[in-house]
Structure 1
Amino acid sequence: MLTLAWQTVKARTSGFIGAFVAILCGTALVAACGILMESGFRGGVPTQRYAAADVVVTADRTVRPPGGDVMAFEHAAEQPSLPAALVAKIAAVPGARAVPEQTFPAVVVGKDGQPLAGKPSFGHNWDSAVLAPFTLKEGNQPKQGEVVLDSGLAAEAGAGVGADVQVMTRSAPVTYRVSGVAEAAGEARQASLFFSEATATELAGNPDRVSAIGVLGAPAQRIEDALAGDNVTVSEGADRSAAEFDDVSQTKSILAILAGSFGGYAVLVAIFVVASTLALTVEQRRREFALLRAVGATPRQIRRLIGVETTVVSVIAGVLGSLLGIGVSQGLRAAFASIGVVPADFALSISPIPLVAALLIGVGAARLAAWSASRRPSSINPVEALGEAAVQKRDVGKVRLAIGWGLFVLGLGATVVPMFLGGQLGAAMSVMAALVLIIGLTLTGPRLIGAAVRVIAPALAKSGVSGYLASANVLKNSRRLAAAVTPLMLAIGFAVVNFYSQTTLTAAVQQQTERSITADHVITGVMGVPAEVVGQIGGGTATSLVRTQVITASKTGDTVEVQSRPANGLDPTASGLVDLGVVSGTIDDLRPGTVALSDAHASWEDKKIGDTVEFWFADGQQAKLKVVATYTHDLAFGDYVLSAADARAHTRAGMDSAVLVKSADTTALNALTSRYPGLQVTERVAAQDRSAERTQFLLNLVAVGVILGYVAISVSNTLVMSTAARRREFALLRLVGTGRRQIVRMMRTEALLTVGLAAVLGSLVAAVPLGMLAIGLTGSPLPDGPIQVYLGALAGAALLGVVSIAVSTRLSLRAKPIDAIGTRE
């Protein structure tokens, strides 16, 4: 059977090219997602500040609620600190030297009075310099009132040994004398300032805790054994960079989540495309299978032949596609770096695991598709085989129809969910609902397209010979038309719903934020705003605004779902500066140990005023806070509003994100902010930070763009295959007197009909979930966003469809009719 299958593949190379391309591209996409996921666990950047440390100990920032499975966890947004007592515990390990490190925001003020912000800048205790190792290039180690600058920072500030520099940490700038200039090997990603031990401990703000502990002279296993039960992370090798750089740690978490999410979409789309392509390939060989059945081949032999042929093609395509996935993953990494999602120097981790997994998924999807496609040609009666092969059967199986209509109804039901479930989750549900609708329409496509064609065909038949021929073709071959319409519909619907779900969410957030921030002015800063600023504002009211995150866990049956949710910290004085849409309670009671919940989340969690709610702060520390208010403006403020003091205490910066001010003297505000380099006073609307939403939006566009690229390839692939398979039909038409131009016009008419049906169905598939999402978020049934994107999606699909059909038609007509009529199918 293998020999026969291999001979068939070699003899019918053109017939298997479509399936080969679909499997190749699908496997490459899945492999790329797998590499990104693995990099979320094993990738990183070269270690710098901890390069000389054998082991780095940090507090565990992975939140795992009790009762959850291995996948029930969330990565804390902030790196928590460690108890200083662990230093002595580690030092007791034989051969280990424990070096505590303090890390806190610190920036040098330049000669122009503005902070030097060329790269992230942090202060450290001098003892931790040995971990890089930093060595003194000039001068001496710092004493009280002194600072050591790294060589790059000293050059940028123009300050040598003996010079005075102003350094701003969490307060107004303080003048320090430069006692030395230190240097480490390689180019640093961060600027470093070193203070004496006493000064660093004071500036860090918590004498009983340290940021991390570097270990010299002891293996990781010994340290892990010594700290068992202390809730710490022991890192060695490349993992040390995640402990050193917060953006690397966040990148690893983002990549793992993103690859898992879009990897699922990629697998679903790949299976969908491969199945569609293989079904078309098998359908085009109906005469061949009919002949085999007529000469005595059993149904099992037909199925085995198709299965082995598919295996041969899928293994070759899968191996090449897995290797191609390495290049795709590098391209995705570069795209993510260009929009600021991952650091430019973040290196991917590439191993055989995701490549082998992608290969198995590709081969498995192909075999499953082959089994499904082979059922009908292998089961027809040998007596009816040749007659059946001549005319396409129009009926669709009852099971397929039942599943298709069931999914369609399920998709319609899912479109209503975003009306009650707002935010990013509601937008994601819109995309899922659209996908379910597309799959449902795909299964019912021949019946649905057949009904549409019966309405349209009479009008086509009146438009001349070409129209009559096109009408007859689509009436008799609705399945072929449905196979061409489906991928175009998928491309249009998927592109439109993904884009406009994000723009509608962003517009809803902006709209609610503008209504909710009633302050006259907002103070923002380069590193943040020192917490002391809000207390120095006179002539008006002010409140701190601390943007943060919380982690929640909810149990449904035996499943524990862990989520990271946006949150904000406010002072009790915020009631005159923000409008949360309070439903019950009052935010005047918002003090440390209390929390306000969105009304929808409070209802979901069954929490009322006075109840205790449990969650985790941004640094992974567990919280049990009393509910003092519920509110409705959750798009602007998230599901949790904490006291500013609680929110600030669980961030590494320990500063406010902004300060909201109402009815204060602008001149006095400018005078106040001038004492803090980097602070500025702006109007409330311009000051809102949209960077997180913009980054998420761009991230989705890149990932969806890659999937749509694959869909576009499959669309062109399918249309070219279905058109090229009609060479004998074109030859017969020409032999009975139909002109070449009439055939070209016939195919152009069919192409326009294909594109038109795809545009209508794709638009409807996107319009229903988007309309429901828009009603739930903004109250209007129209999604927000530029209409040019929708028109561009239609134009792109139309161009792709028309060009693919036109090119393959002209190529098919190049042969002489007398030669083409005898072409082997």
Structure 2
Amino acid sequence: MNGLARSSLRFRPASFIGTFVALFFAATVVTACGALLQTGLTAHVPPERYAKVPVVVAADPEAHITVGHGEDRDTESQALTDQPRPATDLAARIAAEPGVAAAVPDIAFPVQAPGTRLPPLTGRNASALLIENPAATTAAPHPGQVLLDRASARAAHLAAGDTLTLTAPGGAAAYRVAGLTGDPRPTAYFADTAAGPLSGHPGLADAVAVLPAPGVGTDRLKEAAEHAVGGRAEVRTGDGRGAAEQPRLAGAREMLTAIGGSFGGVATATAVFVVMGTVALAVGQRGREIALLRAVGATPRQIRRTVATEAVLVAPVAARPACCRASRWATGG
């Protein structure tokens, strides 16, 4: 029967073109949906800004709602549309724990410099300089002063002592350039007391970076932060720091998982029926051939096995290019 199936494919390829096309598109759609689902389930962002900080405290990016009672009790999670922020006073609580060298609130907000050649800047509190460089010794600016990164200052022909007007969500004001930093991104550092009101959400931070005392490991530092937080925020280590750095990751993962799972299920069911119908049509067009095989003694089981073998022989030929194509789509190729 296997030899007969191979002979049918070799000498009558036209009858199997429909089966090949159906299998190709079915495998492409199912593989693409599977790639979306896998990406949603396993997506993570390695930390960049928090790479040198072993522990980061951030607000939970999801809202959790408990419904039902007793055995029907269930908790559903939904990604928040806006970035949740922990209170800045958590930093003082965490810093008071043994083994913690410092707890630095990280505040970020957009800053514009109209009338200058400065690119759009990210405003930050001056103490956040310790996050990317724990050994930083740059003097913190006073109220009314700002620190700029060297690249942006050079592009705008600014130097220490110059004055410029900066606009932030909390208002616009004139600031004197107190110094330059080696930050690789366009950044403006303000006094800690000024950063909160300028951000538009005073009393809140994007996250709190926790720095260890000498000889303190990550596990011990995490326990100290959890004790200070008391469940009011999430304590993140490892790749979880990247999620704190990119809070929109939770919403993106949920969307990819929903699209890949729901559309993938529908596409798989549809593909099964399409392939079945195509194979049935191809078999129906060979009714005389099958009748001749039955006349010479072939059993119904042997006929079914021949048809199944033909499909198995065609499937890898169609699935391989389909999977390659879907992989290129998933990777943006």
TM-score range, shorter chain: 0.7 to 0.9
Q: Aligned letter for 2:328?
A: G
Q: Equivalents in 2 of 1:94, 1:293: separation in Å?
A: 85
> How far did 1:327 drift?
0.5
Who is 2:238 aligned against?
236
TM-score w.r.t. the length of structure 1 is 0.34
Tell me the residue number matched to 1:166.
Answer: 165
Q: 2:83 aligns with which of 79, 84, 96?
A: 79
Match of 1:328 in 2: 329
**Residues 183, 40 of structure 1: alpha-carbon distance in 2 compared, 3 angstrom cutoff:** farther
Contact 1:60 1:233 in 2 (8 A): no
Report whether the alignment pairs 1:197 with 2:196: no
Deviation at residue 225 of structure 1 after TM alignment: 9.2
Q: Which amino acid aligns with 2:129?
A: A
Q: In structure 2, do the counterparts of structure 1 residues 296 and 10 end up closer, same or farther at CA, with 3 Å as the change threshold?
A: same
Alignment of 1:99-118 (within 5 A): 99-111=103-115, 118=119
Q: How does 1:122-137 map to 2 (within 5 A)?
A: 122-133=122-133
User: Would you say the 8 A contact 1:100–1:211 is kept in 2?
Assistant: no
Residue 212 in 1 paired to residue 207 in 2? Answer: yes
1:66 Cα offset (Å): 0.8
Specify which structure has the bigger relative contact order, considering alpha-carbon pairs within 8 angstroms and separated by 6 or more residues. Answer: 2
SS of equivalent to 1:33: helix
Question: How far off is 1:35 after superposition?
Answer: 2.1
How far is 1:179 from its partner? 1.5
1:147/1:193 contact within 8 Å kept: yes
Answer whether contact 1:129 1:135 (CA < 8 A) is retained.
no
| Structure 1 residue 177 displacement after superposition | 1.5
Q: How does 1:295-374 map to 2 (within 5 A)?
A: 295-331=296-332
> How big is the shift at 1:323?
3.1
- Inter-CA distance 254–284: structure 2 relative to 1 (3 Å threshold): same
CA RMSD of aligned residues (A): 3.8
CA distance in 2, matches of 1:192, 1:319: 48
1:177 alignment partner, SS class: strand
Partner of 2:149: 150
Taking the aligned partners of 2:20 and 2:220, their CA distance within structure 1 comes to: 48
Amino acid at match of 2:174: T
Give the distance between the partners of 1:13 and 1:70, measured in 2 at CA: 55
Residue 39 of structure 1 deviates from its aligned partner by: 2.7
The residue type equivalent to 1:266 in the other structure is A
CA drift of 1:142 comes to 1.7
Secondary structure of the equivalent of 1:80? coil
Partner residue in 2 for 1:176: 175
Superposition TM-score, scaled by structure 2 size: 0.77
**Of 165-174 and 225-234, the range deviating more from structure 2:** 225-234
Bigger Rg over Cα? 1
CA distance in 1 between partners of 2:150 and 2:242 (Å): 21
Aligned-residue sequence identity (percent) comes to 33
Letter in 1 for 2:324: L
8 Å contact kept, 1:167–1:174: yes
Cα deviation for residue 77 of structure 1 reads: 1.0
The answer on whether the counterparts of 2:55 and 2:235 sit within 8 Å (CA) in structure 1 is no
Q: Which has the higher helix share?
A: 1
Alignment length (residue pairs): 322
Give the aligned partner of residue 287 of structure 1: 288
1:63 alignment partner in structure 2: 63
Structure 2 residue 20 is the aligned partner of structure 1 residue 25: no
The secondary structure found in structure 1 opposite 2:66 is coil
Distance in 1, matches of 2:162 and 2:264, equals: 55
Query: 2:100 touches 2:221 (CA, 8 Å); kept in 1?
Result: no
Q: Quote how far apart the aligned CAs of 1:291 are.
A: 2.1
Q: What residue is the counterpart of 1:277 in the other structure?
A: 278
Q: Provide the C-alpha distance between the structure 2 equivalents of 1:183 and 1:327, rounded to a whole number of angstroms.
A: 38
Aligned to 1:493: none
Shift of 1:58: 1.6
Is the 1:102–1:200 Cα contact (8 Å) retained in structure 2?
no
Aligned-partner residue type, residue 205 of structure 2 = V
Task: Give the match's secondary structure for 2:148.
Answer: strand
Shift of 1:146: 1.5
Moved segments of 4+, more than 6 Å? 68-71, 134-137
The alpha-carbon deviation at position 175 of structure 1 amounts to 1.3
Task: State the distance in 2 between where 1:280 and 1:99 align.
Answer: 70
Q: Distance in 1 between matches of 2:141 and 2:199?
A: 16
> Distance in 1 between the 2:247 and 2:231 partners?
24
| Map of 1:465 onto structure 2 | none
Letter in 1 for 2:282: T
Q: Secondary structure at the match of 2:331?
A: helix
- SS of 2:178's partner is strand
The answer on 1:267 being equivalent to 2:271 is no
Q: Deviations along 1:470-504, whole A, 9 cap, x unmatched?
A: xxxxxxxxxxxxxxxxxxxxxxxxxxxxxxxxxxx
- Going from structure 1 to structure 2, the CA distance change for 1:127 and 1:226 (only over 3 Å counts) comes to closer
Contact preservation (8 Å) 2:222, 2:235: no
Aligned residue for 2:222, secondary structure, equals helix
Q: Secondary structure at the match of 1:210?
A: coil
Distance change (3 Å), C-alpha of 1:204 and 1:303: same
Quick check: 1:133–1:184 contact (8 Å CA) kept in 2? no
- Check the 8 A contact 1:51/1:133 in 2, yes or no: no
Cα deviation code 1:726-763 (max 9, x no counterpart): xxxxxxxxxxxxxxxxxxxxxxxxxxxxxxxxxxxxxx
Letter in 2 for 1:123: G
CA distance in 2: counterparts of 1:274 and 1:71, whole angstroms: 39
